[in-house]
Every structure is written in structure tokens, then in C-alpha cells.
Amino acid sequence: MSEKAPVSLVPPFTRETAIAKVRKAEDGWNSRDPERVSLAYTPESEWRNRSEFVHGRAEIVAFLTRKWQRELEYRLIKELWAFDGNRIGVRFAYEWHDDSGNWFRSYGNENWLFDAEGIMERRYACINDLPIRPEDRLFFWPQGRRPDDHPSLSDLGL
């Protein structure tokens, strides 16, 4: 039995490589390691996240450090929405609670632009937060990577 060759995650993306790129991004964000996540972005990367504008890896690290100090027990699912050439569109949802124990599900969309090496140059995110009751949570895996057998956003009806 031969081993499958690793998939190259550089543009132009195919459906297979776009799905793999989305999952790799989800895994990185679920690590909640700002330094690790920042390496997926070019040194000059530009973000718009809600109403905040972030430029470069140092600002990405600072942004994510603040984010995960505020958004506790963060668990994220991303799903491919569309792709073309060096662009990927993603929809996502994540659950988290604040320091008072109030739970939220945050929904959003991201538009990504990649350089020739597959490093993200631009990330534009639109996000809305919905307060939820603890009993309405859907994301229960241990902190870290979402298990492969966990339902997707579409499977969960999100």
C-alpha cells in the first residue's frame, strides 16, 4: 500500500486544497497560540476584524493574545464557502464565554488572499456575537484541534 503524497497548499487552489487550507487554519486558531497562528500570515499581512485593523505579525500576535484572554474556552469550526485562484471565502462559528460565565456563539465570514507561497496576505472578517445558554452549546471537544468525526457547521445546521 503506497502512502498518499502530501497536498500542496499553495495557489491556485483546487477544491481539495482549499478545504485542506481551511482546516489547517481552523487547527491553528483552535491551538490558541498567537505566535503559531501569526506564521500563517505574511509579515506585512493586513486584517480587518470587526472594526479593528491589524497590520503585520506583531499586531496579529497582540490582537490574538487580547482575544483569547477575553474569549475563554474558545472552540472554532471553519467551512469552505468559495475559492478561486489565490482567494478563499470561509464561513465560521465559534463558541466561547466571558469571565462572568456568559456564553456566546460568534458567526462570521472571512475573505482570504494568499501570496504565491500560500501565506495569507489579507484577511477580512465580519463577525456577529449571539448570546447563548450553556445548554445550547454545540462545541464540546477538548480544547485544541476539533476531532475529525465532529460534525461540521452544515451538519450542525449552522
Band (2; pLDDT cuts 50, 70, 90): very low
Q: What architecture (CATH level 2) is domain 15-90+109-127?
A: Roll (3.10)
Read off the pLDDT of residues 83-142 as tens digits, 9 standing for 90 and up. Answer: 999 999 999 999 999 999 999 999 999 999 999 999 999 999 999 999 999 999 999 999
Distances (CA, A) of 105 to 34, 46, 85, 139: 21, 25, 31, 10
Read off the pLDDT of residues 140-153 as tens digits, 9 standing for 90 and up. Answer: 999 999 999 999 99
What number of CA atoms fall less than 13 Å from residue 81's CA on the CB side?
Answer: 14
Q: CB count, 10 Å around CB of 72?
A: 12
Question: What is the value of pTM for the model shown?
Answer: 0.93
Domain ranges of the chain: 15-90+109-127
Question: What is d(CA 39, CA 16) in angstroms, rounded to the nearest whole number?
Answer: 22
Question: What is d(CA 38, CA 112) in angstroms, rounded to the nearest whole number?
Answer: 14
Rounded average pLDDT over 40-48: 97
**3-class SS at 100?**
coil
